[in-house]
Structure 1
Amino acid sequence: MGSTNPFKEQSSSLTKKILPFTLYALLPIALIRLYFYPIPLSFSSTNQIPQNTPILINTTSPSSSSKGDVDNIGCDYSNGKWVTDKLGPLYNGTSCGTIKDGQNCMGHGRPDLDYLFWRWKPHECELPRFEPKTFFQILRNKHVAFVGDSMARNQLESLMCMLSTFSSPDLVYSNGDDHKFRKWHFPSHNVNVSIYWSPFLVKGIEKPSGANYNKLFLDSVDERWASDLDQMDVIVLSIGHWYLHSAVYFYGGSVLGCHYCSDQNYTEIGFYDVFGKAFKTTLNAIMERRGGSKGEGIGVIVTTFSPHHFEGEWDKLGACPKTQPYTEGEKKVEGMDAEMRKAELEEIEAIKRRDKKLGTLRLEALDVTKLALMRPDGHPGPYLYANPFANGVQERVQNDCVHWCLPGPIDTWNEILLDVLKRWEGQSRKGK
């Protein structure tokens, strides 16, 4: 893994009398259209969603007025409960071309659909449904970049699917194994959306020369994404799970220690403090290059750690067997999940305290740890692969209890993301 930026070589190209008669002419056509193709009003949790047609529903929420957006400034989205929702998702497993195969639960034959009919209800406010049109209006002529590991990609693909219900994107760049660096352009609003693979955010070498551990340089940001900071308007950071892997850590030119490295002659120091140091290096790099009064500013959103739901061995039948969300109070954020979330939030607050005048830089946590913890039903599980039980139920089956089905709970991450962007936009207008 070098520091060369895969995107660098890619250029950035990118009246009153007539109206009544027109309406009278269109009315018969509309009636004929409705007769042959009636519009579905809603879905229930027992409906089978067609696999070959996109889901089109009304995305307008009563709570999504501009006044409500401003009122939500102090709302804590991290606390709430999952409630049933008859409307269901904006898209299905075949109406979007950016879903990674392993997260296409519907296409892979998952028989139950109840996991699609829930929405997150914060205690202090209402979370509006995702409105693609609003997203495009706010991000017109801008670039939003997702940076991180496969969870960042999971969230990006959710966003792309929801945006594609309104406007079609063009894939303008793709590079790396498994398309780890990609960029799309929406010509309708000149919006760019990209994904940068950087599972540590800082400079890292994934298992160099066949070694069974990673190398992390905690005081150096990963330039594969950081060198493009001047081209980004909104950046969404999401990492965590790769820090659980065996690694040797470097800081200031020397070895700091390691994690899960019994075959190495280094001190075992775990990964919580290391995780915090990596975030500090990342946020400092963004502040140095885009903070204060530099340029037109950048919005930085940190998606907090998303827990896994493995119950037992990952390759055994029933590794993530739940088919309903946890009820409020049934599960608490604790242990590793709490520590990872804490490390992220502490570094964000430290930056805000130290640099009270962030200037044109906006910084906010997208705190999804609790709402993610409460959705053990939203993972692919054995439907990581298509029709896993076509030849009968096997005792051993590979499961994914980390990533999220698309569509699925992770769509909520982007509902919160859009609401953050709407509040930022409202505050900017208010400040003018």
Structure 2
Amino acid sequence: MSDQLACGKFGRKDLSYQFWRWQPHQCDLPRFNATALLERLRNKRLVFVGDSLNRGQWVSMVCLIDTSIPDPSLKSMHYNGSLITFKAIKYNASIEFYWAPLLVESNSDDSVNHRLPDRIVRVQAIEKHARHWSDADVLVFNSYLWWRRSKMEVLWGSFESSDGIHKEVAMPRVYEMALRTWSDWLEVHINRAKTQLFFVSMSPTHQSAEEWGGAEDGNCYSETEPVMKEGYSGGDTGSEIMPLVKSVLDGLNRRGLNVQLLNITQLSEYRKEGHPSVYRKQWEPLTENQISNPSSYADCIHWCLPGVPDVWNELLYAYLVRE
């Protein structure tokens, strides 16, 4: 469990956020059955590719599966740079996470030292990452959080050479360029008869309490109940980002490559109480000003575990086990 997500470990006492479940209109989600999923994943690789939100979903999935394998000798965890692999040995099943927050190559590719304010992307380069998940049986992608800026520097060339071309490109154009590279790679390299593909929609943040009728300077800090207004959507939902994703996925589907959009946005919109807030490890010492104003350092982006990402995995499970 990452200390970024272990809210109970870091002092959170209200635990109701762990018990909410999602009931879609006009269908029933099957109850998550770890053994049934492991049978479906026997001799296969399930790989999550993306940023820390996707890593949180991977942690959730590993925890959901781990409980069904009580014998420590029948499971393992292996770290290899940007790739983390949980192995259910009895089933020869791998549940993996690969760090690629922008999908394409960037100067944020180090899995540990990557908090860079000046991000540079090579929007036409993806093979550095893709070779690690090219033979996966199930691929679950996400990429949104790291694109939340007005523009980004693009490099045509390599990071090792000084003769590359650098240019600042506005959002969402640079995001679209990266998605096109990603989709072109999928179209050429994915085995349509073998691999299931998913793209997780944007995970909303709750950084402005005004959006749900809270304090003008508030955020998710001290929130203990979901938003109860049906159809609620925050400021992120109108982003130009996700329509671009849908356009790219529709294009792939027309060309015979099915990528299922795992739509977690609306259900997560309601969950303003599901974030770590101040109940997580702080990577840097807090200042006196922060200590006196906890909302100033509340994490309203990631999600406590157990919690909201478990519901995302229930949706994924429904797709994976259906006939």
Matched residue, 1:247: 152
Cα distance, 1:335–1:413 mapped onto 2, change above 3 Å: closer
Consecutive unaligned residues in structure 2, runs of 5 or more: 158-163, 210-216
Residue aligned with 1:407, SS: coil
Matches of 2:16 and 2:116 in 1, distance apart?
43
Matches of 1:170 and 1:130 in 2, distance apart?
20
Q: Deviations over 1:301-330 (max 9, x none)?
A: 101110111137xxxx95313211112435
Q: Which has the larger radius of gyration?
A: 1
Matches of 1:350 and 1:303 in 2, distance apart?
17
**Percentage of matched positions with identical amino acids:** 29
- Give how far 1:409 is off: 1.0
Residue aligned with 1:103, SS: coil
- Give how far 1:228 is off: 2.8
Matched residue, 2:273: 377
Matched residue, 1:63: none
Matched, 1:273 2:173: yes
- Give how far 1:417 is off: 0.5
Residue of 196, 210, 225 corresponding to 1:299? 196
Matched, 1:132 2:31: no
Cα distance, 1:193–1:335 mapped onto 2, change above 3 Å: closer
Matched residue, 1:115: 17
The TM-score, its normalising length taken from structure 2, stands at 0.82
Residue aligned with 2:198, SS: strand
Residue aligned with 2:124, SS: strand
Alignment of 1:23-34 (within 5 A): none
Conservation of the 8 A alpha-carbon contact between 1:249 and 1:256:
yes
Q: Deviations over 1:50-106 (max 9, x none)?
A: xxxxxxxxxxxxxxxxxxxxxxxxxxxxxxxxxxxxxxxxxxxxxxxxx10121111
- Give how far 1:400 is off: 1.0
Cα distance, 1:291–1:407 mapped onto 2, change above 3 Å: same
Matched residue, 1:420: 319
Residue aligned with 2:43, SS: coil
Give the letter for the 1:342 counterpart: P
Alignment of 1:268-417 (within 5 A): 269=170, 271-291=171-191, 296-311=193-208, 319-321=219-221, 322-329=223-230, 331-332=232-233, 335=236, 338-353=239-254, 355=255, 357-358=256-257, 362-385=258-281, 394-397=291-294, 398-417=297-316
Matched, 1:217 2:122: yes
Number of residue pairs aligned between Structure 1 and Structure 2: 295
Matched, 1:228 2:124: no
Matches of 2:54 and 2:116 in 1, distance apart?
26
Matches of 1:116 and 1:122 in 2, distance apart?
18
Matches of 2:26 and 2:177 in 1, distance apart?
33
Cα distance, 1:172–1:162 mapped onto 2, change above 3 Å: closer
Consecutive unaligned residues in structure 1, runs of 5 or more: 1-98, 259-268, 427-432
Conservation of the 8 A alpha-carbon contact between 2:100 and 2:109:
no
Matches of 1:108 and 1:337 in 2, distance apart?
33
Give the letter for the 2:304 counterpart: C
Q: CA RMSD in A?
A: 2.9
The TM-score, its normalising length taken from structure 1, stands at 0.63
Matched residue, 1:146: 48
Matched, 1:203 2:105: yes
Identify which of structures 1 and 2 has the higher relative contact order when contacts are C-alpha pairs closer than 8 Å and 6+ apart.
2
Matches of 1:347 and 1:255 in 2, distance apart?
25
Conservation of the 8 A alpha-carbon contact between 1:207 and 1:214:
no
Matches of 2:109 and 2:87 in 1, distance apart?
33
Give the letter for the 2:301 counterpart: V
Matched residue, 1:257: 168
